[in-house]
Structure 1
Amino acid sequence: MIRWFRAAICAGLLLTGTNAVSETTYSILDFSDLEGWASDDHAAALEVFRNTCTDLNAPDWRSICAAASDFKDPQMFFELLFRPVLIADGKDGLFTGYFEPELDGARAPSARYRHPVYKMPREARQQSVWLSRRDIETTSVMQGRGLEIAWVDDPVELFFLQIQGSGRIKLPDGSFVRVGYGGANGQPYRSIGVELVRRGIYKSHQVSAQVIKNWVRRNPIDGLELLRHNDSYVFFREVSKVPAHRGPLGAMNRSITEMRSVAVDPKFTPLGAPVWVEKDGKIPLRRLMIAQDTGAAIKGAQRADIFFGTGDEAGKAAGKLKDPGRMIVLLPIQRAYAMLPEAVL
């Protein structure tokens, strides 16, 4: 599942950093070095690991996945077959959160449900850069073509659905339509939070997803214009094979799990690998999670986005998260040692 700068929202919608390139380093740790390791629910982590390990094709991963099917002691499973590896690229650790939005909508338009959730048009798929958000929303280019999956009642929530990249739409009869990322117009993402700061409306530390939503709703005309400051536009596809009670699809095309799935940068962390999270901040977290997702703003060896679940409460919790810490990747033993420089071996 691709989410367009989802984590930029959760982290205050400010993209910061440096262009300096640092060397990537690898350090093998002991499980005793993982703070809180013995107290975690390893069985819960193992169940989530099993959900995607069958998609790992390398021989060492396949052997471990086969062993996962009937291993009796979950903690021993991880300790016997993996080694903790701290991967560093010179940047501080940063944890943010993401969630699956839930919107109110209908299969047909009405006075209440006026804002369409679109499938990707053919010509947009054929071009690397297509029309801007303003063109899509204010012209007739999308009309009369049967591209609507559903209509929702809130344009602000629809905007944030596009940032998250997936979500559920609750229909009037209580059933749900789940939608996933279906493509984008190729236009550059422009941060709404940065624009509010540039205009002097808020200070950078004040900006969050909820603050943006509240401002747009208090200023409906200027608010819609503000949203159109972001030229990027995301289209969706209906994900009918995922039951409503399960999590949305992640980058591995499997349902992700609340507070056990994490989005990572696959340049550093293999998708499907267990990762030990040591998140600091007001509410510290020490937990074994599985790298099952990615995100456009998740870049770096120590950058991760924790999945908080579905709905408003999950969104509020995810939106508050911007904490330091460290992430340790659990790798098959031979693979872990193969990453060390020869001088260390």
Structure 2
Amino acid sequence: MTHPTNAETRIEVLSFDDLSGWADDDHAEAFETFRNTCQDMPDPDWRAVCAYATSNPEPRSFFELLFRPVLIEDGADMLFTGYFEPELDGSRTRSARYRFPLYAMPQEAKASAPWFSRREILDGNRLSGRGLEIAWVDDPVELFFLQIQGSGRVNLPDGGKLRVGYAGANGHPYRSIGAELVRRGTYQAHQVSADVIKNWVRRNPAAGKELLFHNPSYVFFREVSEVPASKGPLGAMNRSVTPMRTIAVDPRFTPLGAPVWIEKDGREPLRRLMIAQDTGSAIKGAQRADIFFGTGDQAGRAAGKLKDPGRMIVLLPIQRAYAMAPEGAL
């Protein structure tokens, strides 16, 4: 974890009594999610707490004994959003129905940042015919949203499923097409959701294609079908993520694998211990998190509605937490 140079970055060590609703959570569920990735954390202090986790301690006591809550702020307001694993219809071979490709990442894109934009990649046919196609799907709009989510499952004609995960991107910044529709006056902010955007693009094919080009970021995939269908997709730690217990964070501020207490406000408040097991191109800042809702359309609808304030507090091993605290703050 490396903190960007920012004069507004503020760090405060809290107590568990400062966490709203802490005593009411299912700490055992969070503990099992934490153990799924803690063995992959390389630093000695994390290895020590992970070793203790293998002794099957009482979950709430485990967190309270070995961690301290740390509030990290960078001057920006907290924003919670949601993500999910989409399901698309597709095929491993191209046909009249399945003609929109999911691409693996070309070597030159790995070596150059930024690489070509979304428009340059698609209008310029820069990847076609190179054997980079993992699969073809039947809907370019769903493919666009698959790229935003970063992983998904493709339902194949023979009843099988192909799972794909994030392999990298072209290095261009993510730009929200929902925010662009609001800027144009097409919708008001509270009206925008993934379904609203999809329907608008489909009703307006030419203008919709141009709207998708507003986001220059382009995501490449890799096949991860070795992950059982019963488990969640792979996150940034190359382990399956857990619905409503995994969040995507900015690893410059929050270590991947760390427990994170979230206090999400809004219409449906949520107080829950999550585990930072994923990242996302739109997840930037100390107070920014994306909550994983699961797989399929129902999870997608719930995730698409989420855009709430609140705060998030990272749980760090005690020595690390106090070492981060400003001098004189303890």
TM-score, normalised to structure 2, is 0.91
The 2-side partners of 1:86 and 1:71 are apart by 28
**Aligned residue among 57, 61, 67 for 1:72:** 57
Match of 2:77 in 1: 92
Given that 2:86 and 2:149 are in contact with CA atoms closer than 8 Å, whether structure 1 keeps it comes out as yes
Equivalent residue of 1:305, what SS? strand
Residue range with higher mean Cα deviation, 335-344 or 33-42: 335-344
**1:135 positional shift:** 3.7
Amino acid at match of 1:210: D
Contact 1:22 1:90 in 2 (8 A): no
Superposed CA deviations along residues 28-74 of structure 1, whole A, max 9, x for unmatched, are 22222222212211111111111111112222211110110122311
- Match for 1:282: what amino acid? R
Check conservation: 1:118, 1:149, Cα contact below 8 A: yes
Shift of 1:171: 0.8
Counterpart of 1:220 (choices 205, 220, 243) is 205
1:184 aligns with 2:169: yes
1:286-320 deviation line (CA, Å, top 9, x unaligned):
11111111222222222111111111111111111
Change in Cα spacing, 1:331 to 1:122, as seen in structure 2 (3 Å) is closer
Distance 1:279 1:231, change over 3 A: closer
- Structure 1 residues 80 and 207, CA gap change in structure 2 (3 angstroms): same
1:258 Cα offset (Å): 0.5
Distance between the aligned counterparts of 1:191 and 1:317, measured in 2?
19
Comparing 235-244 with 256-265, greater Cα deviation is found at 235-244
Instruction: State how far apart, in whole Å, the 1-side matches of 2:119 and 2:202 are.
Output: 19
Contact 1:98 1:308 (8 Å CA) reproduced: yes
| CA apart distance, 1:175 | 1.6
1:205 matched to which residue of 2?
Answer: 190
Aligned to 1:158: 143
Note the alpha carbon deviations across 1:61-120, whole angstroms, 9 max, x for none: 111101101223111111111112222233322211111111111111222212111122
Structure 1 position 262 matched with structure 2 position 247:
yes
Which residue number in structure 2 is paired with residue 287 of structure 1? 272
Matches of 1:232 and 1:329, distance apart in 2 = 29
- Given that 2:249 and 2:288 are in contact with CA atoms closer than 8 Å, whether structure 1 keeps it comes out as yes
Whether contact under 8 Å (1:71, 1:77) holds in the other structure is no
Residue from 56, 78, 87 that aligns with 1:102:
87
What's the % identity of the aligned pairs?
74
> Quick check: 334-343 or 62-71, which moved more?
334-343
Give the counterpart letter for 1:87 in structure 2: I
| Partner amino acid, structure 2, of 1:58 | D
Moved more, 122-131 or 150-159: 122-131
Specify the code of the residue in structure 2 equivalent to 1:155: P
Aligned to 2:106: 121
Query: 2:6 & 2:111 partners in 1: Cα distance?
Result: 35
Change (3 A) 1:343 1:123: closer
The residue identity in structure 2 corresponding to 1:270 is P
Tell me how far 1:188 sits from its aligned partner: 4.5
Q: Unmatched 5+ residue regions in structure 1? A: 1-19
The one-letter amino acid paired with 1:263 is: A
Secondary structure (helix, strand or coil) at the match of 2:221 reads: strand
Deviates more, 1:304-313 or 1:137-146: 137-146
**Per the alignment, do residues 24 and 159 of structure 1 end up closer, same or farther by CA in structure 2, a change over 3 Å counting?**
same
Using structure 1 for the length normalisation, give the TM-score: 0.88
Query: Which stretch has the larger CA shift, 134-143 or 42-51?
Result: 134-143
User: Residue 67 of structure 2 contacts residue 315 of structure 2 at CA under 8 Å; is this kept in 1?
Assistant: yes
State whether structure 2 residue 298 is matched by structure 1 residue 313.
yes
Q: How does 1:221-240 map to 2 (within 5 A)?
A: 221-240=206-225
Per-residue deviation, 1:22? 4.5
Unaligned runs of 5+ in 2: none
C-alpha distance in 2 between matches for 1:268 and 1:144:
41
Q: Distance in 2 between matches of 1:302 and 1:132?
A: 28
Structure 1, 152-161 or 72-81: larger mean CA deviation: 72-81
Q: In 2, Cα distance between the equivalents of 1:23 and 1:188?
A: 23
- The offset of 1:284, in angstroms, is 0.8
Distance 1:81 1:115, change over 3 A: same
DSSP-derived class of the 1:76 partner: helix
- Structure 1, 198-207 or 63-72: larger mean CA deviation: 198-207
3-state DSSP of counterpart to 2:250: coil
What secondary structure does 1:334 align onto?
helix
SS at match of 2:254: coil
Cα distance in 2 between the residues matched to 1:158 and 1:50: 33
RMSD, matched Cα:
2.0
SS of residue in 2 equivalent to 1:249: coil
1:332 aligns with 2:317: yes
Aligned to 1:4: none
